[in-house]
Amino acid sequence: MNAKPVVEIKNLKKSFGNQEVLTDVSLNLYEGENLVVLGKSGSGKSVLIKCIVGLLRADAGSVKVFENDVTALNRKNLGLLRQKIGFLFQSGALYDSMTVKQNLEFPLRRIKKDLSEKERDAKINEVLENVGLADALHKMPSQLSGGMRKRISLARTIVVDPMVMLYDEPTTGLDPVTSDEISSLITEVQKKYKTSSIIITHDIKCAHHTANRMIMLSKGEVYMEGKPKDFENSTDPLIRSFFM
């Protein structure tokens, strides 16, 4: 794989006060691949992908997306770059005061400005079908179950056709059946829209299902990197504890 990386992180460092969360993280995401990032909770996985979209500012090191240095971009250019990135929040982050339809329209209106209303509705229907929730169009987020909310927020993320997807624990807190469905959705999105994705998880089943390559994060550093097979066959106690 000698393609140019879509996301390129070098020696990333981030701390809050005197708590060092990421000490030295370097990783690359290549075009079309699914990269799974493992790590126990509190190891800074969410912080890592928030640095990629510029929600958090790195203390040191560089974060490049499509060869743009995220830390150096001004607000306008960062906005343009973010249009190419989809971010699925750990909590879903659906807009409480809006219906499902309005939730999906929100990014569409702002990122795909030239769509007509008809095209917009068609697009919304298409992604809702993809996540299997076409009948939830006029529901409020509070009327949805946890799994449904996750799926709607996935729909909201993919509705604008991002080229890079960042999934923050897409299956955490869901039942095994829904987890499997979400994992399948992730691979489907990868195939259908040709996206490159970083998938954060500590759900080994989801990791197996989706990963082309894996990274383990521990103590603010990349602890191990390799193919899913390497992880399975590893004798390292920390890795083993994840695969039990």
Ligand X SMILES: Nc1ncnc2c1ncn2[C@@H]1O[C@H](COP(=O)(O)OP(=O)(O)O)[C@@H](O)[C@H]1O
* Residues at the interface with Mg ion (CB under 5 A): 46, 90
Region from 34-42, 64-72, 159-167, 221-229 binding ligand X, contact rule CB under 6 A = 34-42
If one asks whether residue 95 binds other proteins (CB under 8 A), the answer comes out as yes
If one asks whether residue 201 binds ligand X (CB under 6 A), the answer comes out as no
Query: Which partner from the list ligand X, other proteins, Mg ion, none does 91 bind, CB cut-off 5 to 8 Å by kind?
Result: other proteins
Pair 167, 199: CB distance under 8 Å: yes
Q: Which is nearer to other proteins, 103 or 183 (CB)?
A: 103
Residues 6+ apart with CB under 8 A from 146: 173, 174
If one asks whether residue 80 binds other proteins (CB under 8 A), the answer comes out as yes
41-60 residues near ligand X, rule: CB under 6 A: 41-47
Pair 88, 158: CB distance under 8 Å: no
Please return the burial class of 46, using the count of CB atoms within 10 Å of its CB with bins 0-12, 13-18 and 19+. buried
E strands, the chain, are 5-16, 19-30, 34-38, 60-65, 68-69, 85-88, 164-168, 196-200, 213-218, 221-226
Query: Which partner from the list other proteins, Mg ion, ligand X, none does 229 bind, CB cut-off 5 to 8 Å by kind?
Result: none
CB of 119 to ligand X, least distance (A): 36
Residue 129: its H or E element? helix 117-130
Cα(105)–Cα(87) distance, rounded to whole angstroms? 16
Q: At what angle do helices 117-130 and 100-111 cross, to 10 degrees?
A: 120
Q: Which is nearer to Mg ion, 136 or 166 (CB)?
A: 166
Token pair listed for 40: 């126990």
Give the β-pairing of 34-38 and 19-30.
Answer: unpaired
CB of 44 to Mg ion, least distance (A): 8
Query: Which partner from the list other proteins, ligand X, Mg ion, none does 21 bind, CB cut-off 5 to 8 Å by kind?
Result: ligand X
CB of 141 to ligand X, least distance (A): 22
If one asks whether residue 114 binds other proteins (CB under 8 A), the answer comes out as no
Q: What is the DSSP letter of 62?
A: E
If one asks whether residue 170 binds ligand X (CB under 6 A), the answer comes out as no
Residues that bind ligand X (CB under 6 A): 16, 21, 39, 41-47
Residues that bind other proteins (CB under 8 A): 50, 53, 55, 75, 79-80, 82-83, 85, 87, 89-91, 93-97, 106-107, 110-111, 160
